[in-house]
Structures are given as C-alpha cells and as structure tokens.
Amino acid sequence: EDKVVQSPLSLVVHEGDTVTLNCSYEVTNFRSLLWYKQEKKAPTFLFMLTSSGIEKKSGRLSSILDKKELFSILNITATQTGDSAIYLCAVYSGGGADGLTFGKGTHLIIQP
Amino acid sequence: GAVVSQHPSWVICKSGTSVKIECRSLDFQATTMFWYRQFPKQSLMLMATSNEGSKATYEQGVEKDKFLINHASLTLSTLTVTSAHPEDSSFYICSARGARERNIQYFGAGTRLSVL
C-alpha cells in the first residue's frame, strides 16, 4: 500500500523565519511528487518533482526531491502571515490507484 | 489557467435525501476527474477516478451505489450522494487532470456536506 508521511504535522513560527517541511514516501512505481497549499478550501498546486536533485523554486518557496532516500522537502524563506496554511505532499504512482496518495499535511502557522 | 469549479460549496440536507455535487474544468478539457473526501485534520482520501465517457473506478471500501459518479463530458463530472446519512457528512473535493499535464491535478474549492 502506498504511503506518504509528512512531518512535522504542525509548526508555529514567527514572521521572517525560514521553515522546512518534510515528506517521505513509500510507493510502487513512483512517477512524481507534488506539493499543494491548502487554505481552508481547494489545495493550490505549488510544485511537481520528478527528478532527484533538481530544485524547483517559486519566489520564497523551493522544493527538492531525493529519489534514493525517498523524500522531499519544501522550504519557505522569510515567512509571512499569508504563508499560514496546510501544506500537502502527494505522490503519483503507477501502481494501484490512478489518483494521488496524500500525506496528512503540515499545518503551518506564521505569527506576526 | 487550470481552473476547476466545484458547486455547491456548502450543502445541508436531511437524512435520506440525495445530494449532487458538480465539478467543472473551466479552461481545459479534463480527461480524468477525481473525487476525494477529507475528514477534519485528516488527509484527502481518494474515493473514485472517472474518465470521460466510461464508468468510474472506485477505491476499496467506497460504495459505488451510494456515491454515484457521472463524467458525461470533458468538462463536467458529478458526484451524487444517495440516501445521505449523518456519517456521510464530510468535505468532498474534486480534481481534474488534462491530457497535457498528466501528473498534475487541479482542485476544486470543495463541498462541505452536512447531513442532519
């Protein structure tokens, strides 16, 4: 059974801090790993990672994948209160379900 | 681009009634749509996968007669919760995937279902 584990489950930091969110996975026929940001409603797509060692970057957010160690990290630098959300990691695999397997998410709270 | 609209955003119904939720891809053709369910403080759980014009594939433990899925066109999928009961109360989210970006799913805003 495919499994995605995120840590920490919750995190409270102050504005301006840098945070690192972790995602490890065990899946059959790994295809890609995706990060989403969920603020109360629809998860918003952030990154898709398919290759090891290649950093994806968008503004203050960046992410990288390690296919050998089966994990990914999502970094957010100079955090702002608007970064407060649940960050979901999901893996798309070729085995079994065609949908994404999600982790439980990291609930990030940025305090002013 | 890649906008998915889900309607309604919130519905309250009496036990025993049926509720239909719509999911539309607004600016792309969705060859595949997915329906997820999310419990409080839990992750999204895949319920079923539907491809346009064919029957949906349900995950283990999901009753296909209770959660009817129709994907009649490349831009619309519907989920009907039949004879809803309080235990069906949950947050239902759809997602859509196009033919070009096969690994990326774009999500609707979700539907909060409360069954009294």
Give the CATH number for residue A12: 2.60.40.10
Q: Is A36 on the interface with B (CB under 8 A)?
A: yes
pLDDT score for A41: 76
**Mean pLDDT of the B22-31 span:** 90
**Mean pLDDT of the B26-36 span:** 90
pLDDT score for A97: 52
Best of B4, B97, B102, B105 to disrupt the A interface (most A CBs within 10 Å) is B105
Nearest-CA neighbor of B25 among B83, B71, B90, B82? B71
Among A42, A102, A104, beta carbon nearest to B108: A42
Instruction: Reply yes or no on whether the pLDDT at B99 is more than 80.
Output: no
Structural domain for A67, as ranges: 3-111
Residue range A34-89, pLDDT digits in tens? 999 998 778 899 999 998 888 999 999 999 999 999 999 999 999 999 999 999 99
Total number of domains in chain A = 1
Chain B residues with beta carbon closer than 8 angstroms to that of A104: 41-43
Give the integer Cα–Cα distance in Å for B116 and B114.
6
pLDDT score for B113: 96
Sequence-distant (≥ 6) Cβ neighbours of residue A45 within 8 angstroms? A34, A36, B2, B104, B105, B106, B107
Q: Are B71 and B53 in contact (CB under 8 A)?
A: yes
* Average pLDDT over chain A, rounded to an integer: 91
